[in-house]
Amino acid sequence: MHVPDGFINAPVSAVAGVVAAGAIAVSLRGARRELGGPSSTGTARIGSDRTAPLAGLVAAFVFAVQMLNFPVAAGTSGHLLGGALAAILVGPYTGVLCISVVLLMQGILFADGGLTALGVNITVMGVVTTVVAYALFRGLTAVLPRTRRSVTVSAFVAALVSVPAAACAFTLIYAVGGTTDIPIGKVLTAMVGVHVLIGIGEAAITALTVGAVIAVRPDLVYGARGLTTRLKLRVGGELVDAPATAPAPVAARSTRKVWATGLVTALALAGFVSFYASASPDGLEKVAADKGIDARTEEHAAADSPLADYGVKDVDDARLSGGLAGVIGVGATVAVGSGVFWVVRRRRHEDPADTRVTETV
């Protein structure tokens, strides 16, 4: 659903840029708490220290999986948006930053998604998907039994809904600032219809990934924290809750194995599996071509980039070219993402407000 330059006029693109910048500013502050900020009592939140080193990896994983277009209908494909997955794994604020880093890398390095439309893409693919998915995820986990299966089911539903929600958001922006005169009802019907199908793929990928991480390290899933079930004891023939005990020192467990496994997986997906991805246009591209939305599409400013269109310039072998581009993209995304999240987490130690809270305890 990467919006290219020319779909949305300059004034609305500028407004979307302001909205995206504001969302990123809010997310930077919120991510400081998710990445290890102190609680209201001045102590570190449980599990927060494990989020920071994984946030950059989540961004790289989303980048890799977005290269894997899957067929959803005749002549149409879809790919992961990733907002739901990122929000559930590392938190909603950090999730917005993850998707923003991915979109920035794609726009600058690979000419995927217009640079003037970057604000539109961050708003639609980053903010809307993350907010809608995490709100629905939290609502479902609040009413369902607090089990790992419930988290996986909630992740599936949240991801499924987030994709057509993003399609609706794009349609709304297009209704205000579209550069072609197309009946908005037709655009909405086409966008929502195809993106419901894409949402099924998004939901499956999100649920499988969240379920896989929960199976080995549930403490690393932001949306699954606090899922521990009280031990039951049989007293007088009845089951009662066992006395609360101090939590196990899971914070000391290393994340290196998970980090290394995740990085190798992302590199394999982007460097090898991506060659077998569907070559059909994605949902937005298909709707744009069918309805005439793309009549005023502009050439990307980075069209001459050595990595444009996910291939390495002057490398003739398509498999090698695409694989190298994918590996470079994963490496760049994990480096930039990890750097951003390291700075965000470090700044919480320097914030006077955080210092005041700690000193009053």
* Span 185-219, pLDDT tens digits: 999 999 999 999 999 999 999 999 999 999 988 88
What distance in Å separates the CA atoms of residue 190 and residue 205, rounded to the nearest whole number? 23
Q: Taking each helix axis from N to C terminus, what angle separates 318-350 and 10-34, rounded to the nearest 10 degrees?
A: 60
Q: Is residue 244 part of a domain?
A: no
Residue 242 predicted with pLDDT over 60: no
Q: Is residue 1 part of a domain?
A: no
* Span 37-69, pLDDT tens digits: 444 444 444 444 556 668 999 999 999 999 999
Give all strands (DSSP E) within 59-136, no chain letters: 70-73, 76-78
What distance in Å separates the CA atoms of residue 343 and residue 346, rounded to the nearest whole number? 5
Are the beta carbons of 282 and 79 closer than 8 angstroms?
A: yes
DSSP per position, 18-58: HHHHHHHHHHHHHHHHHTT-B-TTSSBPTTGGGTHHHHHHH
| CA 103 centroid distance within chain | 10
Mean pLDDT (the chain) is 87
Q: Is residue 245 part of a domain?
A: no
Nearest residue to 310 via CA among 59, 64, 100, 123 = 64
How many distinct structural domains can be found in the chain? 1
Sign for the CA dihedral angle at 50, 66, 330, 92 comes to negative
70-73 and 76-78 as β-strands: parallel, antiparallel, unpaired? antiparallel
70-73 and 232-235 as β-strands: parallel, antiparallel, unpaired? unpaired
> In the structure encoding, which two tokens stand for residue 233, read together?
């004891």
Q: Is 287 helix (H, G, I), strand (E, B) or coil?
A: helix
Q: Is 233 helix (H, G, I), strand (E, B) or coil?
A: strand
Half-sphere exposure of 260 (CA within 13 A, CB side): 4
CATH code of the domain in which 91 resides: 1.10.1760.20
Q: Residue 335's domain spans which residues?
A: 10-239+253-359
Give all strands (DSSP E) within the chain, no chain letters: 70-73, 76-78, 232-235, 238-241
- Number of Cβ atoms within 10 Å of the Cβ of 183: 9
State the pLDDT confidence band at 255, using cuts at 50, 70 and 90. confident
* Span 280-324, pLDDT tens digits: 999 999 999 999 999 999 999 899 999 999 999 999 999 999 999
Q: Is residue 2 part of a domain?
A: no
Sign for the CA dihedral angle at 84, 85, 90, 93 comes to negative
* Span 313-344, pLDDT tens digits: 999 999 999 999 999 999 999 999 999 998 88
